[in-house]
A and B are shown apart, each in its own frame.
Chain A
Amino acid sequence: MNPVLAATSISVRIGGKTLLDDVSLSLGFGEIVALVGPNGAGKSTLLRVLSGDLAPHAGTVRLNGRTLASYGPRALAGRRAVLSQSLNVAFPFTVAEIVRMGAGDGRGRRIDDLVEAALAEVDLGNFHERVITTLSGGEQQRAHFARVLVQLACGEAAHGPGLLLLDEPTANLDLRHQLDVMAAASARAARGVTVVAILHDLNLAALLAKRIVVLDHGRIDSDGEPGRVITDAMLERVLGVANAVGRTPAEGTPFVLPHAARKLLPGKS
């Protein structure tokens, strides 16, 4: 089957610095992928390339067989939705107004229901008329996630399941809401949405994704099932941390325990 999203030999250089170096990545229908790696590895840059924000200096990105550049902004918005990090809203919009922005010009009962459902899904069911700037960072992020879910649902109604790109969707959230976001992403993937999420928490990554892509110094270090990718060797190589990986007894799912970890001396990594 043809990939939904295919990035081929992507390179990005900004100000003489190479942020991405010959990265290729191919994602199938309903696939859910976690993008991990140290700070500055190029994860956000890769996500910006995949979303169409940033044109790579070399390489192409194809969505459903067409290059990203051949889509207009509106057509693209119907097929992929993006949750960015740390958004700041300058004007006192209410939570419901923000979430409704995901629906574009759409109005009516169907949109009302979508907004309702998305707010309930991120546990902001009673926050409709709250002004977004008065909410905590985590609450604001959940509101924006609800907006992205509405955009995704509107796109799905028109063009079928699309692409969902998440840049650290769990960064400001407490554990319960981290799990909510993961569940929402998994549910979308089960319906055929292709999901790419940048995650720092390797445990969440292993829990959420069937496939983990490790990025380091702008290159793909490893790519595969959590059990194969999250190993002591990878953590030593990429993060300079040793002896941190354990396995759950039953399924053998890897988990990372900071207590057991040991920092490697510089030069040894």
Chain B
Amino acid sequence: MISRNVLADLELVSGRLDRTRAKLTSGKELTRPSDDPLLVGRALQYRSELAANRQYRRAIDEATGWHEASDSSLSAISNMLRRARDLAVGGANGASSPAARQLMATEVDQLIEGIKTEANAQYAGRYLFSGTTTLTAPYSTADDAYHGNASTINREIGPGVQLQVNTVGSAVVGDASSGIVKALRDLSAHLRANDLTAVASDLTAIDAVHDELITARADIGSRVNRLDAAAERLSELEESTVRLLSETEDADMAKTLVDVSTQQAVYESALRAGARIVQSSLLDFLR
């Protein structure tokens, strides 16, 4: 009877010691669902959140890259537009000779090509300004038409939060009938035709399209700000989720170490006591 008790107790203590040792070596409080079903369920949720968060941050990085590429293209376009405006100011001046205006017109044509080339900018093999037809160049040298579409590209940057990443080329750069391209084509034609009044009114048109460009860039800027804020929020969230996950899942090393040594001591003394009790009987004392 004593031996049965001693054995049952030893099994209990060694089982406990085993589990604590497993905690220590794995560093995990939870190694299987039955350790604490509720906490395991929570840990799985934290893990899901964490995985989603990391993915959102990838989407944000990607969207930020896209925006930066868009902005640098638009900035180059803006510079060229400014140069065209300078030419228009010169062309509208009565002091310029018709021959000079011809040269100016040629330069404006070059600028248009330059702007179209910038608008054909790519990010990771995709055209930035052609809507969702990202594999088609929005502009070609052959004509002034816009070959993309007006659809938006959205990225998910948080649970249920979507953000437009693209700037549609036709809205900013325009085509043969609107926007920068039309304004500059008009300017070039008017310069060639020596039509000073028309050149002067082109100046107003150029200012108008430049304003639109600036608005588009401001839009990009504000979206980048949103991305930054979202990234920051996600990293804060990640930090707290990691902490929660670790609190749920990870073993408290100091406590576990103390537990192991306590249980080890208990186990050893139980062994020793058991060995002593089991041995003695009346037999030992009879002659």
Q: Indicate, yes or no, whether A interacts with B.
A: no
Write the residues of chain B forming the contact surface with A, with a CB cutoff of 8 angstroms.
none
A: which residues have CB within 8 A of B? none
